[in-house]
Structure 1
Amino acid sequence: MGTDSRERMVRSAAYLFRERGYSGTGFRDVIAHSGAPRGSIYHHFPGGKAQLAEEAVRYAGEFLNAGIEAATQGEDAASAVEAFVGWWRQVLIKSEYRAGCPVVAVTVEAHDDAPQLAAVAAAAFDRWQDTLATGLGNAGVSDERAGRLARLIVAAVEGATILCRAHRDVAPLDEVVAELKEMTRLAAAP
C-alpha cells in the first residue's frame, strides 16, 4: 500500500477535523473523503484514530507554518500578522464558516486516553509562534517583545476564527487583525 493513500488520509483527516472536530470524524469519514482503500487505514495507522489525528495535526501545523515562513521574510512587521491570517480568512469564507483550525479542534477534544494529541498541538502552536517571532524580530521588534506578540497573534487569531464561525462573518477576524497589525507596527518602530 503506497504512501499516496496514507498522505491522502492524513490530509483528509486534517480537513475533516477542521469542519467536524475530532469526535465528529471517524475512520469511515476519512476513507470516504480520501478515496483510500478501506483496509489501508488500519495498515497505515495501527495506533488508531489518535495516531491519525497526531499526523493530521503535524501536517496542518507544517502546512500553515510554511505559509507563515514564506510571508514573513520582509521587513514589515504587519506582514507577519497578514501571513498568519490570510489563509484563515479564505478558509472561513470558502467553507461558509464551517471550517476552523484542525489543531484547535483536536486540542479541545484531546482526551486522557490520547495525551500525545495535546503535546502535538502544543508543538504546532509553538512552531507558529517561533516563526512569527522570527519574522517580527527581522522586522525590528525586540526578541523579548516578538515572542510575546507572536503568542498574542496566535491566540487572538484562533479566538477570532471561533468568533467568525459563531457570527458567520469575518468581521471579528478583520477587527482583530487591524489591532494586531497596529500593535506590531508600533513594536517595530524605533
Structure 2
Amino acid sequence: MNKTKGDIFQSAIKVFSKNGYDGATMDEISANAGVAKGTVYYYFKSKDEVFKYIITEGVSLLRQQIENINIGKGDYSYKLRELSKNQLRLVCENKDLFKVIMSQAWGGKIRHSELRQLLKVYMEDIEKFLVKAMEDGTIRKCESSFLTYMYFGELVSVAIYNVIKNDSMKLDEVTDNFIYRLLNGIK
C-alpha cells in the first residue's frame, strides 16, 4: 500500500470508529487524511468501497498472524501462547479498526453480511489451528467449532477489558492469564 492510500486507510479507520458507518463521510475521511476528496475517489469509488477495504485488510492481518505462527517453529503449546499474544497485541494496537469491525458485525445490510463472511473465514483459520493443538495434545479434544468461538470471544473480551479499564496492557501477563483461563476454565 502506498503512503497516500495508507493515509486514507488510517483516516477511514478513525472516521468510521468515531462516527460509525452512517455518520462517516468521504469529506471527513479526506480531510483527516490530509488529501483532496478527489484523491480519495481516485483510490475508492465510494464510502462502501473504503469500508470494505479496511475490514478486508483488518481481517487479513489477523489471518496472516495465524498462518505465520502455524508454519513457525515450536509445538502447539508454544504456538497457542504466541498466537494469543500476537492476536491480543494486534487488537489492542488497532483498537479503532477492531471497534469498526465489531460494531459492524451485526445488521442486515450487505456490508454486514460481507463482514460476517470475512469473520467466518477467520474463524475457520482459528478452528484449524485449534484442531492441530488438539491433535498435538496441547488442548483436550472437544467440539472444535464451539472452542473456536469461545477462543474468539475471550480475545474480544480481553480487548474490551483493556479499553474499559484503560490499562496499558502488560501483554505477557494478560497472555498468561488468558491461556491459563482458556486451558483451565473458571473451576
TM-score, normalised to structure 2's length? 0.69
- Post-superposition offset of 1:170: 5.8
In the alignment, is the contact (CA less than 8 A) between 1:164 and 1:170 conserved in 2? Answer: yes
In the alignment, is the contact (CA less than 8 A) between 1:57 and 1:120 conserved in 2? Answer: no
- Post-superposition offset of 1:106: 2.8
- Higher RCO structure (Cα 8 Å, ≥6 apart): 1
Segments of structure 2 that go 5 or more residues without pairing to the other structure are none
Q: Match of 1:101, SS?
A: helix
CA deviations 1:24-79 (Å, max 9, x no partner) are 53212321333333113334433x32232122111111122212322344422333
Letter in 1 for 2:123: Q
| Residue 116 (1) aligns with residue 110 (2) | yes
Segments of structure 1 that go 5 or more residues without pairing to the other structure are 93-97
Letter in 2 for 1:120: E
Letter in 1 for 2:144: A
CA–CA distance in structure 2, aligned partners of residues 179 and 58 of structure 1: 30
- Post-superposition offset of 1:5: 4.2
CA–CA distance in structure 2, aligned partners of residues 143 and 116 of structure 1: 36
| Residue 27 (1) aligns with residue 20 (2) | no
CA–CA distance in structure 1, aligned partners of residues 156 and 113 of structure 2: 18
Letter in 2 for 1:127: V
- Post-superposition offset of 1:177: 4.9
Quote the residue 1:70 is aligned against.
Answer: 68
Letter in 1 for 2:52: E
Change (3 A) 1:127 1:180: farther
Change (3 A) 1:91 1:14: closer
Match for 1:162 among 136, 160, 168?
A: 160
Change (3 A) 1:160 1:186: closer
Change (3 A) 1:29 1:39: same
Quote the residue 2:119 is aligned against.
Answer: 125
Structure 1 segment 27-106 matched on structure 2, within 5 A: 27-46=26-45, 48-73=46-71, 74=74, 75-76=76-77, 77-91=80-94, 100-106=98-104
CA–CA distance in structure 1, aligned partners of residues 3 and 97 of structure 2: 24
TM-score, normalised to structure 1's length? 0.68
CA–CA distance in structure 2, aligned partners of residues 45 and 143 of structure 1: 45
CA–CA distance in structure 2, aligned partners of residues 29 and 126 of structure 1: 31
Count of residue pairs the alignment pairs up:
175
Letter in 2 for 1:82: K
Structure 1 segment 138-177 matched on structure 2, within 5 A: 138-139=132-133, 140=136, 141=139, 145-169=143-167, 177=175
Match for 2:130 among 136, 139, 144?
A: 136
